[in-house]
Structure 1
């Protein structure tokens, strides 16, 4: 009888656990569907790993807007700058094997560097603290230029800042990491990454930084044109040297396996991962960034993450054995990659709930709904729960996104709310002035720009726009 009771109890616990997981998956699915609808996301893939097991894996929408081909396990999403995570792992694999050091000068591996680059180290490339000029800001550098030509061109520019002093996101850093990895390994960058991180999923990963290249099963990224109120295919082409920075296209199953390998220390040993996730000691003592990873913390629980193109994100919570992958191919209003990831994390583990971020997401979601009469009520309701919360930047961002999408009256209402909530903010009045200016209500635009200037006499934009408005009003 005792054994029967124990077996019955075990079965009951198992059924309860299964039911809870089923309900949790259904809740995540419902949430994601709402986000897809509100943000008009064409195609999306979401994956969650908890305690080493895939607990959620689902696909939404279509690979393209020109066909009805559904997103599925064979769909390869371009993850853009999230590709840098694979490059980071590759660099630390070489460090772990003693073939590379964070303290190595890059001049040890690359010849004919300008004198001002001689003291730049591997650690500075990984942490975006090199100070080397960003190659993508120079129109005379083409995708077909040789590596030597790129370095020669950049050497004519001054350093952006003293090496190691600050964080400044920069594609040149990863271009140089590509050269160094290839020099050390004698392999192409692509083969090195595939062989050492995707040996069991090679056919589910491709490298291409060319949006125009025809690749089977690769999902097309779309950029929303607010003036035409429609999506347009991405046409970005940045060449093979950008593969380490933005070139990975990958299926969700392959990304999930990569994440499992990372957690199981198959890609890097535990001590090496801990070193990779340490905050870099920036000279300005302000910036926070690890070796190629953003660092986040919720309720004193650390996570490490990165996103790409505002359409993909990867976040891992080592202390909670949790990782979340989000890949999409477009959005019409607000970038949602981290909002989705953070929200799902809180649904999986209540200790990962960030009440402020959830409130912010709720505010953004409500104002995203067209002509939603309850949006402001929701804002005040959430603010009442914690009066110390400040959403000035959030409201400002919402207003400008609505403005860019020709929802001018709604944008003005958001800007006006921001002014009411932050009456000493010159920036809030400046934004409200711009809203009225776009609506061609020059009298109210002038009033708000003048108020902004009173609060901040150095507001050059307000001074310039006031002159413009006064000239327009004279012509009437």
Structure 2
């Protein structure tokens, strides 16, 4: 069951990632860092930059881990970064290669799938139409959709599904996200997606909770938003977005088209799975354009952040007015922890007591991304990577760059399971397990070793994954998920009887474990 700093050091731009070869990573390829910065400044980031230092305990030297080493550990072939200061792009850099095992270097012109960062970009298109009276934020969406309609539900008898609620994930709709479609398979139209009809690979988008009562992230809802944009604009979504959002914001290397124009396709990176293998067909196609369809560069994403930041102050407004931009960056669905911030119209906004900050991340098959801006201070960062594991790196990059720049924000710490994976890659699994034993301090948290086990399993290090899952089950024998994960590892190793035994153990602890039931049905045939 899946559950799922030292000071910066400068080097010359275009430095070869000569330290980027760890013997056990067969998919590693030579990579170059291409940095752009004023000649009088040192690059903010380099392959040799120490991203974290791990205390290994008494008598052991600390483990200093560089950016190049993190890319190796998490099987990230390439990445691109753009840093904003005073609402200008102050620094951009690219690292690695466009395809696992390849030699073509990532450059600032390389395109990546932005995944869910598509959502706030789409929101800007919808708000452009709102400002011109072509859409309403607060009317029932069914009064604005011209063809397909959202089926009526007693849950929405009083509170209606509205555009405002779609954009703030407060409309009570299902379908968190989409898997996309492999190259060459039939691709559904938007109405088929919304109704869950073949060849769609996702459920129908429907009201499952009373609208306006809960923050429930819904890519399905944003798909309806995309249909509303198409209907109101009277033209294909991707054409409208190019004309009214992307080009006015200066995003000249970006597109929602899933059949990329040849000039852009030639610059596109290939996706990478957690095992370091190229995504079959290089990338998936996402007909769900509004929630997932954007192809872009880090510099273009930074330009988008600058556009929004300046428009909030009435200094750009190439897409939205100052008033509408401020509305976009106002929390409409609050943080359920009771802290300041929440979900605006597209972006997550105002977390950690910083009302000017807005952000979004994303994950498509083989790609992950992050954009973060502070409109009060005029700083920000955009990060794109061609790997399913890039999120384990990008928060560290933001921390290192942010500390160097003096940014104030709510930093996210590395997950303990990911730190253990780094230790295992650098000093061996025994060292990682010893570190876990030393730092556990009596905490009952089976998720740490579970994450490490799945990282190893997805990197095809099956024997090591089995050792980790066995240790986890021994430490937490009452945890149903620990036994479920051990069952999965044994099944992956071809140990059928052991897999059945462990799935049964999990089911005895949690009779509602649907995954264990499904796996036992397959194994006991």
TM over 0.5: yes
Shift of 1:161: 0.8
1:286-338 per-position Cα deviation (integer Å, ceiling 9, x unaligned): 9x64432346845878653221314222123445543221112235x675365
Match of 1:219 in 2: 268
2:300 to 254, 259, 273: 254
Shift of 1:87: 0.7
Is 2:446 aligned against 1:392?
Answer: yes
Shift of 1:60: 1.2
Is the Cα–Cα contact under 8 Å of residues 312 and 337 in structure 1 kept in the other structure? no
Greater Cα shift, 31-40 or 360-369 = 360-369
How is 1:29-178 mapped onto 2 (pairs within 5 angstroms)?
29-31=49-51, 32-64=67-99, 68-96=103-131, 99-112=134-147, 113=149, 116=152, 119-130=160-171, 143=187, 145=189, 159-164=206-211, 165-178=213-226
Is 2:327 aligned against 1:275?
Answer: yes
Return the structure number with greater helix share. Answer: 1
Q: Distance in 2 between matches of 1:137 and 1:454?
A: 32
Is 2:354 aligned against 1:306?
Answer: no
Kindly tell me: are residues 264 and 417 of structure 1, through their superposed partners in 2, closer, same or farther at Cα, counting changes over 3 Å? farther
Q: Distance in 2 between matches of 1:467 and 1:187?
A: 48
Q: Distance in 2 between matches of 1:39 and 1:369?
A: 12
Q: Distance in 1 between matches of 2:134 and 2:290?
A: 19
Scaled by the length of structure 1, the TM-score of the pair is 0.74
Match of 2:466 in 1: 412
Is 2:432 aligned against 1:432?
Answer: no
Kindly tell me: are residues 211 and 446 of structure 1, through their superposed partners in 2, closer, same or farther at Cα, counting changes over 3 Å? same
3-state SS of paired residue (1:311): strand
Shift of 1:79: 1.6
Q: Distance in 1 between matches of 2:337 and 2:432?
A: 39
3-state SS of paired residue (2:161): coil
Kindly tell me: are residues 86 and 159 of structure 1, through their superposed partners in 2, closer, same or farther at Cα, counting changes over 3 Å? closer
Q: Distance in 2 between matches of 1:448 and 1:208?
A: 46
Shift of 1:441: 5.5
Is the Cα–Cα contact under 8 Å of residues 114 and 294 in structure 2 kept in the other structure? yes
1:256-310 per-position Cα deviation (integer Å, ceiling 9, x unaligned): 222212211234456544533444449x999x64432346845878653221314
Q: Distance in 1 between matches of 2:152 and 2:408?
A: 47
Equivalenced residues, count? 444
Q: Distance in 1 between matches of 2:229 and 2:168?
A: 16
Scaled by the length of structure 2, the TM-score of the pair is 0.68
Shift of 1:427: 1.4
Shift of 1:63: 2.7
Kindly tell me: are residues 41 and 153 of structure 1, through their superposed partners in 2, closer, same or farther at Cα, counting changes over 3 Å? closer
Q: Which has the larger radius of gyration?
A: 1
Greater Cα shift, 404-413 or 372-381 = 372-381
Kindly tell me: are residues 28 and 166 of structure 1, through their superposed partners in 2, closer, same or farther at Cα, counting changes over 3 Å? farther
Kindly tell me: are residues 170 and 467 of structure 1, through their superposed partners in 2, closer, same or farther at Cα, counting changes over 3 Å? closer
Kindly tell me: are residues 22 and 252 of structure 1, through their superposed partners in 2, closer, same or farther at Cα, counting changes over 3 Å? same
1:187-236 per-position Cα deviation (integer Å, ceiling 9, x unaligned): 5533443344433635422332247977444313224385x966543353
1:441-476 per-position Cα deviation (integer Å, ceiling 9, x unaligned): 67765665555345334445556767988x79xxxx
Match of 2:435 in 1: 378
